[in-house]
Amino acid sequence: SSFGHIDWQQTLDDICTDILPHLGKGQVADYIPALASANPKAFGIAFSTIEGTTYTAGDWNTAFSIQSISKVFMLSVALAEEGEKLWRRVGREPSGSSFNSIVQLEREHGRPRNPFINAGALVVTDTVISHCGDEAGIDRLLAFLRESSGDQAIVVDEKIARSEAAYGDRNRALAYFMKSFGILREDVPITLETYFRQCAIEMSVANLSKAGLYLAAEGLCPISNRAVANDAHTNRVNAIMMLCGHYDRSGDFAYRVGLAGKSGVGGGIIAIIPGVGCVAVWSPPLNDAGNSYAGTLALEWFSHRTGVNLF
C-alpha cells in the first residue's frame, strides 16, 4: 500500500513516550466504583493491519471495560440480522448531545438520533434480541468479538455488569421512555440487562484493534478469514462512527484525527483506516464529553505522523 514506508512500531513507541506528560489529564469515569478505580496513568496502543499484523506499545495487553465501543459491534450484528429496516426505529444523524441525553427523544417521538448514543444503542440491542432470543443477544456479540479478534477468552466482567445495573437508572429511563412510544419491541429488563453486559465486556487494545479490522476490510475478518459483515454495512458503520462516534465531540474528533472512531467511557477508542487497518488506544481519564483525553491526543498524533487521515 502507499503506507509501506511507515515504521508502525516506531510510531507507536514514540507516541507512548511522548504521551507520558499528558497521562492523568482529564477525569476517570466515576459513575460506578469499578471504573473509578482504573489506573489514571495507564496507556496502551495497538495497530493491526488488514494483512493481519499487530503492532503494540504500552499497556497493550491489559483488558479494560470496552463500554460504548461495544455499540459498534452490536450495530454490525443488528444490521446483519435486520438490514435497512433498522433505520425505522433509530436515526443516523449526529446528536449534538451527551451520550446519555434524553431531551431529543420527546421531540422525535422516541426515535433516537443515532445508534451510538445510549438510547440508540438500546434500540440496536433490542433488535438483536428480537432476532436471537432473550438470553442469546450477549452471546451473539461475544461470538462476534471472539471470532473477529481471534481471542476465545473474551468475556463480560460480571462485577462491572452488576455495577452498571446498580447505577443504570438513566438508561432505564431512556428505555421505558422509548417503550412508551412503541420504539422498543422486546422485554425492557432483558434489553437493559444485555446492554449493561455488553458495556462490561473486557478487551485489550490488541484485541480491539483486531476486532475492528473487518471495518477496514469491507467486512472480511483477516483473523478468521471469513466475512463477518457485508461490505455495504461496514461502509455505513464507518460513516456513522465518523459523524456520531464521539457524541457532541464528534466534529472535534474528525477535525483532529480525521478517522472514523468510537470511544467508550472506560477510556478506550478504536479508529478505522479503510483498506489499511484499525488502531485502538486506551487511557482511562476522559474529557468532559466522556472521551479519553490522552487517547484522542494519541490518535491525533498517529494520524498526523503516519498520514493516514482520510481527508
C-alpha cell, 39: 489506573
Out of 164, 186, 193, 248, name the contact with ligand GLN by CB under 6 A: 164
Q: Which of 55, 195, 214, 293 is catalytic?
A: 195
- 68 catalytically annotated: yes
**Can you say how many angstroms the Cα of residue 264 is from the centroid of all Cα atoms in its chain?**
6
219 vs 268, beta carbon nearer ligand GLN: 268
Q: Which is nearer to ligand GLN, 269 or 297 (CB)?
A: 269
Pattern 266-295, binding to ligand GLN, x per CB under 6 A? Answer: ------------------------x-----
Closest approach of ligand GLN to the CB of residue 99, in Å = 4
Q: Is 210 a catalytic residue?
A: no
**Residues touching ligand GLN: how many (CB under 6 A)?**
11
Tell me the helix, strand and coil percentages in the chain, rounded to 5.
50, 15, 35
Q: Binding to ligand GLN by residue 118, rule CB under 6 A?
A: yes
Check residue 250 for interaction with ligand GLN (CB under 6 A): no
Distances (CA, A) of 178 to 14, 67, 138, 169, 223: 46, 21, 21, 14, 38
Among 110, 120, 245, 264, interactor with ligand GLN by CB under 6 A = 264
65-104 footprint of ligand GLN as x/- string (CB under 6 A): --xx------------------------------xx----
Q: Say if residue 62 is exposed, middle or buried (CB neighbours under 10 Å; 0-12, 13-18, 19+).
A: middle
Whose Cβ is closer to ligand GLN: residue 12's or residue 269's? 269
Query: Does 195 participate in catalysis according to the annotation?
Result: yes
Written as one string, the DSSP assignment of 103-170 is HHHHHTTT--S-TTSHHHHHHHHHHHHHHH-TTHHHHHHHHHHHHHHT-TT-EE-HHHHHHHHHT-HH
Is residue 265 among the annotated active site residues?
yes
Query: For residues 137 and 290, which CB has a smaller minimum distance to ligand GLN in the complex?
Result: 290
SS (H, E, C) 184-253: CCCCHHHHHHHHHHHHCEEECHHHHHHHCHHHHCCCEECCCCEECCCHHHHHHHHHHHHHHCCHHHHHHH
Which of 55, 65, 70, 71 is catalytic? The answer is: 71
Task: Report the residue number whose CB is nearest to ligand GLN.
Answer: 68
CB 269 within 8 A of CB 292: yes
- Which residue numbers are catalytic? 68, 71, 195, 247, 265
Write out the residues near ligand GLN by the rule CB under 6 A. Answer: 67-68, 99-100, 118, 164, 171, 199, 264-265, 290
